[in-house]
Amino acid sequence: MVIFKKFDDKAQLHTLEGVAAAALMLTVMIYIIDATSMTPLTSSSSNMHMESELGMLGQDILNNMNYAEPGYDSKLKSDIMNWNGNEYVWNGTNYAEKGAEDSGRELKNNLTDILAKVLARKAIAHNVEMTYISTSNNATYLFSKNMISNGDPSNNAIKISRKIALHDEDINSTLFPSNLIGDIDPSTNLYNIIDVKIVMWRI
Amino acid sequence: MKIYKNDDALMSIDYVAGISIFLITVIFVFQFMYGLFIPFNVNSDGVTLSADRVSTVIIERYLNVDKSKDVGTIDQGKLYYFNDVKLNSSNYTEYKKILKEVGLFSTEIIYDLNMSVTRLDDSIMNQSGPSLPNDIDIGQTKRMVLIINKSTDYNETAFIEVRVW
Amino acid sequence: MKMVVSMINKMTTSKMIRNQDAQFMLLGAFIIAIGLTVVTIMLSSIIFEGNKAIMAGSDESKTDMVNVMQMAQDEIRNAYRNSTTLGGDDTINNFNIHMREFGNYMSLIYAVHGEVVTVTWEDWNDKEYAYFTDNGAVNGMPDWIVAENTQNSTIMVNITNISGPLNVNVINATKIWQKDFSFPGMSIISDDDIKANINPPYSIKFINGSNANGKYSVTGNTVYGRNFIYARDYVLNTTITFSNSKVSANVTVPISVPW
């Protein structure tokens, strides 16, 4: 009589199979979430709307400053013509000269008026940059200088720009930095074209 | 000759461990993905977009100064007329008419419109339209405008807030 | 013995051939992973489309285009005033040089933002003077108000061609004083002339402006002390093309010079 016992000697990898399945699912999940940057806030478009609202506010500020009756200069133009070329920074109450904050020299013009009321007191940091054309050695360059500088903008900052043309007859203020912003065309009445950029970001 | 067949119902421990790891992971993944869907249920996109559009239509078409090349300058007379006559919530026919003109009135859904004009120091100049509800999403847009009156040489900067719900 | 061995062989081989174990755990994991990927991609598309709708609401190209048009209008008027004030033989040439420089620099400064801008203009060589309508064209409104709330003013009208009567009305709250023109030539209505006939504040209105063309200028100040000047010699058509990656536009604007 022969008794045979069936020995099942198949090796079972169920545990490892379970671990592998779990690792697979978790890896895929982590990868796709990283790739599509899904966060609990991503689905709400309020971030995008806040940015576009800030952009519209900047446009409205520049539109406001650019209004002029026929024969008169706009507020923005007279601000540029009375600018002395220095940089200013907001110190909580007004725009003091950068590098000489204790000197008491501050910037007070139409632009600072509106920016202080609308942006500075609502915790929206801003830089105002002037880009102008400069011709030297038969080549044309574009230079930028900040009128108001409050630091480096964040990643989601908004930049709004408006261009203004200056003419020879406008340059009569002794403050105007003619060595900085020069006449690009002495043969005609056109003096320069300035690109006023406001960069805004929430802090 | 006997052949013994082993027919005990048994689950190997190996299998229990593996399937439990697998099931725990499945449950965790589904819980997590469910959490990502939650913000989709509460969404005020529609009213916010409508508020944007309506504010642009009102400022650039209804209230703008005639023959002006500037965007964002509005006529004081037109503003008063708009607030007092057109967006007068007590006069329902006029209110319905203005809703139709700005595109908030349709056969499927009707929105409500409220507009307020405030000075730069946040004091209210004017408010018109039905009063705001407390319990539903409201879309709001804030724009800055220059109000001028050519006959009286008046000009003032103000905020216009348009709310839609 | 042989029979037993063959039976064992049969049993083992049949087991091996009919091994139908499947690895459902791994299969299940794959299915769930694919399902996750599909769902997340759909979600992300929905979010993208929602954000795009918000972004489309505030388009920057419109304000840039309006800016170009405003600058072109101011510049043409300035160039015209400057070249005609300097006088001499080269007025049209100086005007064209000024506008050409302006066009070039505009293209340069807009190119920095990724926008292509070109400005083309016409000069007044062989051009007729504007009509006395509100927009200068022969089919504009013939009866229109030039100035309101005026305290002092001087009106200059220089008619080149006239085919019917042209009237200038000075209107205050109680009275209308009318001055008629039927022949070409220059006429000046001085402030004293007006004050002798009518008391300020008054408005100045042109009637039947489509009957005549020529130049006019009305200067003075309002009751609020603000000086004004309204004048028109010609209406020059200016074409502005603007294009960036999203939009491309071509606009022709009639601009009245010098103011």
Which ipTM did the prediction report?
Answer: 0.77
pTM for this structure? 0.80
Instruction: Please report the pLDDT score of residue C99 as a whole number.
Output: 92
B22 falls within a domain: no
Q: Which of B14, B36, B70 sits opposite A14 (nearest CB)?
A: B14
**Do residues C155 and C220 share a domain?**
yes
Alpha carbon dihedral A112, A115, A118, A119, in 10-degree steps, equals: -140
Total domain count, chain C: 2
Q: Do A59 and C63 touch (CB under 8 A)?
A: yes
Handedness of CA B14, B16, B22, B24 (dihedral sign): negative
Q: Is residue A14 less than 8 Å (CB to CB) from chain B?
A: yes
How confident is the model at residue C11, as a pLDDT? Answer: 58
Residue C227 clears pLDDT 60, i.e. is over it: yes
Q: Is C92 in the same domain as C214? A: no
Selection from A84, A146, A145, A94 nearest residue A115 by Cα: A94
Chain B, nearest residue to A56 by Cα: B143
How distant, in Å, are the alpha carbons of C146, C149, C150, C183, C255 from that of C228?
A: 11, 11, 9, 28, 19
* Residue of chain A whose Cα is closest to the Cα of B46: A45
Looking at the structure, tell me whether residues C165 and C206 fall in a common domain: yes
Confidence label for A38 from pLDDT (cuts 50, 70 and 90): low
In this complex, is the C-beta atom of C44 within 8 Å of any C-beta atom belonging to chain A?
yes
Tally of domains within chain B: 1
- CB of B69 within 8 Å of any CB in chain A? no
Q: Which chain A residue has the Cα nearest residue B20?
A: A18
**What's the confidence (pLDDT) of residue C241?**
93
pLDDT digits (tens, 9 = 90+) for C66-100: 899 999 999 999 999 988 888 788 888 889 999 99
Q: Residue B2 above 80 pLDDT? A: no
Antiparallel, parallel or unpaired: β B124-128 and B113-119: antiparallel
d(CA A52, CA C139): 42
The pLDDT of residue C10: 62
Q: Between B8 and B154, name the one with better pLDDT.
A: B154
* Banded model confidence at residue C218, pLDDT cuts 50, 70, 90: very high
- Within 139-168 of A, beta carbons closer than 8 Å to B belong to none
Contact A12 B39 (CB under 8 A): no
Across the range B55-61, mean pLDDT stands at 89
Tens digits of residue pLDDT in A105-164: 788 888 888 898 888 878 899 999 999 988 877 788 888 899 999 889 988 888 898 999
Report if residue B119 sits inside a domain: yes
Q: What does pLDDT average to over chain C?
A: 86
Q: Answer yes or no: do A163 and C54 touch at CB < 8 A.
A: no
Smallest Cβ–Cβ distance between B4 and the set A1, A5, A41 belongs to: A5
Distance from CA of C49 to the nearest CA of A (A): 10
Which helix (DSSP H) or strand (DSSP E) does residue C107 occupy? Answer: helix C91-111
Is pLDDT at C252 greater than 90 in this prediction?
yes
Is the model's pLDDT at C239 over the cut of 90?
Answer: yes
Closest residue, chain A, to C111 (C-alpha): A142
What is the total residue count of chain B?
Answer: 165
Average pLDDT of chain B, as a whole number: 84
- Closest Cα of chain A to C47: distance in Å? 5
Domain that holds residue B112: 45-164
pLDDT of residue C12 exceeding 60, the answer is no
Residue B115 located in a structural domain: yes
Q: Which of A33-42, A175-184, B102-111 has the lowest mean pLDDT?
A: A33-42
Cβ distance of A12 and B12 shorter than 8 Å: yes
Q: Is residue B59 part of a domain?
A: yes
Task: State the pLDDT confidence band at A101, using cuts at 50, 70 and 90.
Answer: confident
Q: Are residues C213 and C249 located together in one domain of the fold?
A: no
Could you say which residues from 85 to 144 on chain B have a Cβ atom under 8 Å away from some Cβ of chain A?
Answer: 120-121, 141-144
Q: How far is C222 from chain B (nearest CA, A)?
A: 9
Is residue C210 pLDDT above 60, yes or no? Answer: yes
Domain assignment present for B53: yes
Which domain range does residue C161 map to? 144-225
Give contacts of C229 with chain A, Cβ < 8 Å: 70-71
**Tens-digit pLDDT profile for residues C116-170:** 999 999 888 888 899 999 888 888 888 999 888 889 999 999 999 888 899 999 9
Burial C142-165 (b: 16+ CB within 10 A, else e): beeebbbbbbebebebebeebeee
Render pLDDT for A15-31 as a digit per residue (tens, 0 to 9): 888 888 899 999 998 88
| Residue C57 binned pLDDT confidence (cut-offs 50, 70, 90) | low
Residue of C nearest to A22 (CA): C29
Chain A residues with beta carbon closer than 8 angstroms to that of C98:
188-190
Q: Considering only alpha carbons, which residue of chain B is nearest residue A110?
A: B157
Residues on chain A touching C244 (C-beta within 8 angstroms): none
Is B7 within the bounds of a domain?
no
